[in-house]
Structure 1
């Protein structure tokens, strides 16, 4: 059952029906946000397979090269936090559209910069521009989707990010081998613009959200404190740091390992390994449905255990073991992120955009902080150092997941 677009203007929010799973509007909204997720992750992570190329072109170290991603994710983390506040007074769809457009244009500009520091400035601005998508998308889903279909819809959105992450890396690797990294970045920017137009045409108007004016600092501060006082939410915020920090750290430095002896892999071949991102397209909606059916804590624990298994597999020398390890880590990451992000929307009783922003602030800080720290572990101890760092982080995450599961079983989360 659906309502007319003007329903929210004439009806109390509680009287306006949610978008139910399986309806045409559900699939339109899910496809729109899949495009948004694709664009966000492809624009954000297209430079990840290019880190060795940046080291060669600009004469920078692996840790310095990783700043092209870490600066972007750090800026994105801050921008998401701000967006969580201001989004309560802006159109959800308008904010996401403007964000996708600006970040796509900045990506195109990045393809033409001659100097390293100029590239870092543009990548930082891109992180700021992208801030209007992730938290707002999560809030839109939590507000508009029927609770029984929220897990699936959130999983489909996260699946879009998996497609974006895969396409950004694979397309970049192939085009770089053929025409150079500048052409590869330009292609990603053009595809981002196309995704923005598709998103804009597909997403239905909000029905359970009306922009609010006059919300001052006192209102936002009170809502912020209530989120941290809400049992379970702080642990989910920390879970975002663990999941993304582990995932990005491994992906940042696996290219350095595979391009060196004894593997001597090309950029295109390394990019092909990222086809395992396609497993995330399946894992995200599947885990969302499993969480709706069997409990979020149980699926989250399984996801983290799978990530740990994957990291251990990458310690072995055969390329098949490394590829299997990357696949396990990828499946576990996307499954865990789909569950944790959907759980935030369910636990937050108000200001869902702000709650989503807090989760994503921690999520992208994990990418920025751990992604850069991993470079020092790579320099000091090689792949064993990187893997050891990720294992420690995932063990912390597993302890958090066990606590969340205990609260869920007690009916408290």
Structure 2
């Protein structure tokens, strides 16, 4: 570890390319491993003779443990370091996924998926903290965009791969294939990521950990970014959760396979997170965030139309805007936090997953009572709050000076 005066990693350098490859692999692996079980829930229900609601625990137990564990791991990581924990977490999660392919009982599968949630907690917050510490502020938007783009591709690929393989093989072989991909991604990550040069270890003292969280929650700009995490992810997950119900019902009455193919829209997230991340470096993060949220609002409005083409176009616009907004807000957290960056990232991700859980549930009440009109209105209200919060956010003085210099 070197001193903080050393130069950060800048766009266009070999170190920047290695960092992007490693972070893309990490994002891909994490989301592929987390969500690979989602399309297999009917198969899990048949294999283990559980209800559909119970089969959903294969995913929810992982994300639930992940959300809670993020706060603890983010604090401990300030004394443990960055790269070794991330590499170990990726490999552990991949190996645990391989084990889920051979477990004989339902409870053993759930136990493994819960432990996976603990393993996954060692990656997202640390990845954001690493980029905030090691990447030059003018290049971090692109780097964070590529990491989130990898996450989008992984989330889509994990679902599509297990769905396709389960049709020609068994669900166990499908999960095993994703686990093997996870092992490969962990090796790529460990070999590619440059070691930390600006990380400064802090003693793992409970009082100081709690004080760091308190400091972050007293930072008005960080609190607004945490609110953005809740509102953005809540609106995005709610939209996808109940869109499937809408498209399976009349007047569309699409087949399940056709509805499942909607996850291909995640491809636009890869381009969006990268493009908006680069735009944020040129125009400033406030402008990039506001523009992305406005796009999400436009996308939700399109989904309220009746023609199927308009609904699909709305989903594309919504997805493009979400990944752009998320990449901008998440990279901003690493820059805004004055210290304990992993803990700041953990708080962001805690609110991110909390938004998915709480808003996703409330959206179900809206669907049951008012149908898609209620869902769209609820999501629109969340995004209006997000846009208002974004207008309260201002870039730092350093960022403003840098933008003036570029012009």
CA distance in 1, matches of 2:374, 2:57: 19
2:7 to 2, 17, 31: 17
**1:93 partnered with 2:92:** no
Q: What CA deviation, in whole Å up to 9, does each residue of 1:60-98 have, x standing for no partner?
A: 356x65544333222111111111111111131111112
Higher mean displacement: 260-269 or 239-248: 260-269
1:366 deviation in Å?
1.5
Instruction: Report the Cα offset of residue 260 of structure 1.
Output: 4.5
Aligned to 1:179: 169
Offset of 1:116 from its aligned partner?
Answer: 5.4
Alpha-carbon distance, 1:389 to partner:
3.1
Residue 397 and residue 36 in structure 1: after superposition, are their counterparts in 2 closer, same or farther (change >3 A)?
same
Alpha-carbon RMSD across the aligned residues, in angstroms, is 2.8
* Separation of aligned partners in 2, 1:92 and 1:409: 26
For residue 404 of structure 2, what is the aligned residue in structure 1?
A: none
User: Normalised by the size of structure 2, how large is the TM-score?
Assistant: 0.89
How far apart are the structure 1 equivalents of 2:199 and 2:75? Answer: 14
Tell whether 2:376 aligns with 1:404: no
1:30 has 2:23 as partner? no
After superposition, residues 135-174 of structure 1 pair within 5 angstroms as: 135-174=125-164
What TM-score results when the alignment is normalised by the length of structure 1? 0.87
Task: Provide the C-alpha distance between the structure 2 equivalents of 1:323 and 1:354, rounded to a whole number of angstroms.
Answer: 37
Deviation larger for 134-143 or 286-295: 286-295
Q: Could you list the per-position Cα deviations for residues 216-253 of structure 1 after superposition, in whole angstroms to 9, with x for gaps in the alignment?
A: 11221222221112221001011111111222222233
2:313 to 315, 318, 324: 324
Q: Does 1:306 align with 2:295?
A: yes
Residue 62 (structure 2) aligned to one of 50, 62, 72:
72
Q: Distance in 2 between matches of 1:136 and 1:391?
A: 32
Residue 3 (structure 1) aligns with: none
Indicate the residue corresponding to 1:273 in structure 2. 262
Q: Point out the more displaced range, 201-210 or 42-51.
A: 42-51
User: Helix, strand or coil for the counterpart of 1:148?
Assistant: coil
CA distance, structure 2, for counterparts of residue 396 and residue 333 of structure 1: 14
Q: 2:21 and 2:313 mapped to 1: Cα distance?
A: 29
Compared with structure 1, are the counterparts of its residues 191 and 379 closer, same or farther at alpha carbon in structure 2 (3 Å cutoff)?
Answer: farther
* 303-312 vs 171-180, which moves further: 171-180
Residue equivalent to 1:5 = none
**Alpha-carbon distance in 1 for matches of 2:83, 2:30:** 15
Match for residue 332 of structure 2 among 340, 343, 366: 343
Counterpart for residue 45 of structure 1:
35
Q: CA deviation at 1:341?
A: 0.6
In structure 1, distance between residues paired with 2:93 and 2:257: 25
Deviations 1:191-210 (A, max 9, x none): 11211111111111111114
State the Cα distance separating 1:170 from its structure 2 match: 2.1
| CA distance in structure 1 between the aligned counterparts of 2:219 and 2:93, rounded to whole angstroms | 34
Contact 2:302 2:314 in 1 (8 A): yes
**Superposition deviation, residue 272 in structure 1:** 2.6
Q: Which residue of 2 aligns with 1:360?
A: 349
Confirm whether residue 245 of structure 1 aligns to residue 206 of structure 2.
no
Tell which deviates more after alignment, 111-120 or 179-188: 111-120
How far, CA to CA, are the matches of 1:25 and 1:407 in structure 2? 26
CA distance, structure 2, for counterparts of residue 99 and residue 245 of structure 1: 26
The runs of 5 or more residues in structure 1 that have no matched partner are: 1-7
Give the direction of change, closer, same or farther, for the CA distance of 1:320–1:408 in structure 2 (3 Å limit).
farther
Structure 1 position 110 matched with structure 2 position 87: no
Aligned length: 400
Q: 1:84 to 1:68 in 2, by over 3 A?
A: same
- Return the offset for 1:111: 3.6
Alignment of 1:258 onto 2:252: no
* CA separation of 1:77 and 1:190: change in aligned 2, threshold 3 A: same
Distance 1:269 1:189 in 2: 26
